[in-house]
Structure 1
Amino acid sequence: MERTEELIRAGVHSGAYPPDSRLRERELAEALGVSRVPVREALMRLAAEGLVELEPRRGARVRRLTLRDVEELFDLRLSLEVFAARRAAEIVAGGGGHDGLRSVMAEADAATRSADQAGIAAANTAFHAELITMTDNRLLQSSFQRSLGLMHWLFRLTATEHGAAQHRTEHEQICRAIGDGRPRLAEALTYSHIDIRREPVLRALAKVLPAE
């Protein structure tokens, strides 16, 4: 079941299933060699991530990503992740651990060394998701869940070799601030890490994405 979800997600990220294209259960099941049940469940989970839209009596289709989506994603991340980084550092300062964040950093290191663009995007997404997880705030996690698919998609669309190394360095700085239990530094580094990319990302994507 998880494998089916991973394959469909990868198809969306790679462009094999283009934006606005229909995702028909029978065709996907035949192509992936599974029954329609895991396909249906995978599409529901991908809809929860924001990659797929489910329409009554019409089935599923790949979401059409727009510049407005990207703008709103940056706004959401600045609201939620900056708070999460500060809270994570506070938890560590109070005696908590950050093993999950260090584990994600190890995955990012391996992907960056091997120039695995898909692995880099996955590790980057996992890093930001782990910040949210560290807060142990269920409502925050639920609110953030729907942006994960869009975030991963955005990382794939804007991936560059230089960008991967820069992301890794900035993630390491955030990880260190959290590990040292320094909330204000973790907050500032996370804000800068996200906000500094807004303008160049939007400028680059303006060439390929519609405004609305």
Structure 2
Amino acid sequence: MAEAAKSTRVEAAYERLKDEIRTNRMPPGFQAPEPEIALRLGMSRTPVREALIRLEAEGLVELIPRRGVRVLPIRAEDMREIYQILTSLEPDAAARYAETHPSDQELAPLERATADMEAALESEDLDTWAEADDRFHQILLDLQGNRRLKEFVRALYDQAHRARVVTMRMRGPPHRSTQEHRDILNYLRAGDGDSVRRLFKQHRTRSAEELLAILEKYKLGQL
């Protein structure tokens, strides 16, 4: 019983900290001692420490002896590798899912995420747009059914999401990206795996090029 309660506290600390990092409330370069982090979360130090160890293994933070924790910078070379992996894995997984001919009911969460992106773009609410964009990819990752692929790719999403949040106001409104999500959804509904694969690959390639150009131009990896 005590072990289960401890595990729950660690998981809560992990999710809270990861959300702080993904949304850049703890931005790249942020550094603080562990007691300060625990106070920030309103939690005890032990679960926070264990959560930070997990986040270090995922490449989001660095634990520094006697100095606490530092949120790692968003480096262009890291993002290049991450997007190469996403571009290789996601399109094929989405294409295989399309070929199962998913029902409208199965696709309803993706429809909601896409509609939320379109509404957020219309109201110029980029934070809500980024949340809906992330939700679209997370839902599709769940739907494609490969558990090992899901566990592997999900860790990369955290890195990619915080990079998008940092850079999204340094580029134009995401009209093209929003349309690509709508087109991918339409091809999923049509069961057209080849078109899903082609468009998804184009989407990730273009997104990577835009992101890397900004990271290299503004030297954000030096944060």
TM range (shorter): 0.7 to 0.9
Q: TM-score, normalised by structure 2?
A: 0.78
Residue 42 (structure 2) aligns with: 33
State the one-letter code of the partner of 1:199.
E
Further displaced range: 82-91 or 184-193: 82-91
Equivalent-residue separation in structure 2 for 1:56 and 1:96 (angstroms): 51
Per-residue CA deviations over 1:127-178 (Å, capped at 9, x if unaligned) read: 1222221111011011102101111112112214743332211100001100
Gaps in structure 2 of 5+ consecutive residues: 1-8
Query: How many angstroms apart in 2 are the aligned matches of 1:36 and 1:78?
Result: 38
Structure 1 residue matching 2:220: 3-state secondary structure = coil
Root mean square deviation of aligned Cα: 3.1
The TM-score, its normalising length taken from structure 1, stands at 0.81
Q: 1:43 aligns with which of 44, 52, 57?
A: 52
Report if the CA contact (8 A) 1:81-1:190 is conserved.
yes
**Please, which moves more after superposition, 139-148 or 59-68?**
59-68
Paired position in structure 2 for 1:184: 194
Percent identity among equivalent residues?
32
Tell whether the 8 Å contact from 1:50 to 1:149 is kept in structure 2 after alignment.
no
- Aligned partner of 1:22 in structure 2 is 31
Distance, in Å, in 2 between the alignment partners of 1:110 and 1:48 is 36
Distance 1:149 1:118, change over 3 A: same
For residues 112-191 of structure 1, the aligned pairs below 5 Å read 112-160=121-169, 162-191=172-201
State the alpha-carbon separation in 2 of the partners of residues 33 and 173 from structure 1: 43
* Structure 1 counterpart of 2:113: 104
> 1 CA distance for matches of 2:144 and 2:47?
31
CA separation of 1:168/1:86 partners in 2, compared to 1, >3 Å: closer, same or farther?
Answer: same
Match of 1:209 in 2: 220
| Count of aligned pairs | 211
Does the C-alpha gap of structure 1 residues 116 and 96 become closer, same or farther in structure 2, counting only changes over 3 Å? closer
CA deviation digits over 1:79-115, x for unaligned, max 9? 1111122012012269993233223223323433333
Q: Is the 8 A contact 2:32 2:67 kept in 1?
A: no
Deviation (angstroms), 1:118? 2.2
- Pick closer, same or farther for the CA change 1:126–1:49 going to 2, 3 Å: farther
1:196 counterpart (206, 209, 216): 206
Which one of the candidate residues 83, 86, 90 is aligned to 1:81? 90
In terms of mean alpha carbon deviation, does 83-92 or 98-107 score higher?
Answer: 98-107
| Cα offsets for 1:5-58 (capped at 9, x unmatched) | 565445435655343443433102223333335534553554465422456887
Question: For each residue in 1:169-206, what CA deviation from the matched residue of structure 2 results, as whole angstroms up to 9, or x when unmatched?
Answer: 11000011001111001111101111123333212211
3-state SS of the aligned residue for 2:173?
helix
Q: Which runs of 4+ in 1 moved over 6 A?
A: 55-58
CA contact (8 A) 1:101 1:127 kept: yes
Q: Which has the larger radius of gyration?
A: 2
| 1:86 aligned partner, one-letter code | A
